[in-house]
A and B are shown apart, each in its own frame.
Chain A
Amino acid sequence: DAKTTQPPSMDCAEGRAANLPCNHSTISGNEYVYWYRQIHSQGPQYIIHGLKNNETNEMASLIITEDRKSSTLILPHATLRDTAVYYCIVRGASGTYKYIFGTGTRLKVLA
């Protein structure tokens, strides 16, 4: 499983876009990128995932570079409730279902 690297913390002003980067330079061709967040000690909440193409849903957008070695999660209009730890995970398409969580990025949305 590919390893991911994220900045330990970021701040974002309320109402602005939050851009959270993730480096996964050892990703394989069949590995997906998943994003989760965890608020306080609640269970991790699924946000979005993708393989090659950029993806968008009601929560966020995921931008994956053409070489797939990095990605960015975009929260278009951050609110105070988006304050959380955000995890970027890379997982294979076949065989193992395992997620390996890193230390994530602690996003603080400021009023």
Chain B
Amino acid sequence: DAGVIQSPRHEVTEMGQEVTLRCKPISGHNSLFWYRQTMMRGLELLIYFNNNVPIDDSGMPEDRFSAKMPNASFSTLKIQPSEPRDSAVYFCASTGQLNQPQHFGDGTRLSIL
């Protein structure tokens, strides 16, 4: 079975540029999560979707961050404009039924210069 697929695996870009991270959840899963991990703050939830609808975006740091889920098999997390403090590993996870565990992708390591 294919797991959660994230792309790109690594992204290096200059401050001010737009960054788009992509995620394909496990087929059949109806909930999708975006997390960010830094040394200072650990793993923190940014936003999650249920049935393609954003449910809780309270973790999104500021308006420069936006996330979409146009269909059940694809989601994007966009940062515009990017800043050096956005450098982190961004993970996507998905799950199906209530109480079932979330399954994580391999992450995107983002470096903003």
Task: List chain A positions with a Cβ less than 8 A from chain B.
Answer: 32, 34, 36, 41-46, 49, 87, 93-94, 96-103
A101 and B43 contact, CB distance less than 8 A: yes
Q: Which of B65-73, B77-85, B97-105 contacts A (4 or more CB under 8 A)?
A: B97-105
Interface range, B side? 20 to 34
Measured in the bound complex, the distance between the Cα atoms of B33 and A44 in whole Å is 13
Determine the chain B residues whose CB is within 8 A of the CB of A97 once the complex forms.
31, 33, 48, 50, 55, 95, 98, 102
Knowing A34-B101, A97-B95, A99-B45, say if A41 contacts B56 (CB, 8 Å): no
Knowing A42-B106, A43-B106, A43-B107, say if A98 contacts B101 (CB, 8 Å): no
Determine the chain A residues whose CB is within 8 A of the CB of B95 once the complex forms.
97
Min Cβ gap A10→B in Å is 18
**Additional 7 contacts, C-beta under 8 A, given A42-B107, A44-B43, A99-B33:** A44-B91, A93-B99, A94-B98, A97-B95, A97-B98, A98-B48, A103-B42
Q: Which residue of A lies closest to B58 (CB)?
A: A98
Min Cβ gap A49→B in Å is 6
- A-B contacts, CB under 8 A, total: 52
Query: Looking at chain B's contact residues, is the secondary structure mostly helix, strand, loop, or mixed?
Result: strand
Pick the contact of A46: B56, B99, B101 (CB < 8 A): B101
Determine the chain A residues whose CB is within 8 A of the CB of B4 once the complex forms.
43
A45 and B104 contact, CB distance less than 8 A: yes
Q: Which residue of A lies closest to B102 (CB)?
A: A99
Determine the chain A residues whose CB is within 8 A of the CB of B44 once the complex forms.
101
B42, B99, B103: which has the most chain A beta carbons within 10 Å?
B99
Measured in the bound complex, the distance between the Cα atoms of B45 and A100 in whole Å is 7
9 sampled A-B residue pairs with Cβ under 8 A:
A41-B89, A44-B91, A45-B104, A46-B102, A98-B45, A98-B48, A101-B43, A102-B42, A103-B42
Min Cβ gap A29→B in Å is 14
Measured in the bound complex, the distance between the Cα atoms of B37 and A63 in whole Å is 29
